[in-house]
Amino acid sequence: MVDECSMEATAGSKIKEKILIVITLSALTAYLPTAIHNQFITGPLVNMSLILAVFLIGPYEAVFLGLIPSVLALVSGLLPAALAPAVPFIMISNAILIGVYHYLGKKNFGISIFTAAFLKFLFLYLVTGLLVSYFVAGTASVSLAAMFGWVQLATAIVGGLLAFVILVFMRRLNQKTA
């Protein structure tokens, strides 16, 4: 009887912990693009949040969180209005990042960081290159295309490394408390 109660209490605290993590990561991914209009800051932090979500709450929840930042970046002006047609593709690229991390991260976190970042970059680079050439003309197309070039690769890698540091820190904390 006591064991059943302690198991229920533990399960309840795990659910509360997951809810707290979801709320925190949701706030982070929702707030950053609207508050900080710098892709070199928001990009790594949003990617970090998505990767942490994969490992802390699950891949499906992470994909849901991955829908939020691009919409808010568009609404807040971080993403130029001319790239509104790219939003669904940004969401897909976040899902690619999440899926690769979920699949490879359990096997080799280092390889998953670079593979997921590269695949996200490649997808966005190819798709947005087509969109920019179709919807935007002149010198604006060069700067818009740059947003989806090497910057995406760099911010995804940095986000992955930040997530790795946090996950290692959390693991060490859990080992000390266990």
User: Over 90: is that where the pLDDT of 157 sits?
Assistant: yes
- Please give the share of the chain, as a percent, with pLDDT higher than 70: 79
What is the distance between the alpha carbons of residues 91 and 97, in angstroms, rounded to a whole number? 10
Within-domain flag for 16: no
Within-domain flag for 51: yes
Within-domain flag for 116: yes
* CA 103 remoteness from chain centre: 15
Within-domain flag for 3: no
Average pLDDT over residues 93-109: 90
Quote the radius of gyration of the chain (alpha carbons, Å): 18
Within-domain flag for 74: yes
Residue 168's φ and ψ, nearest 5 degrees, are -65, -45
CATH number of the structural domain spanning residue 121: 1.10.1760.20
Residue 167 is part of which domain span? 22-177
> What integer pLDDT is reported at residue 116 of this predicted model?
96
The angle at the Cα of 20, spanning 64 to 25, to the nearest 5 degrees, equals 45
Within-domain flag for 5: no
Is the pLDDT higher at 120 or at 40? 120
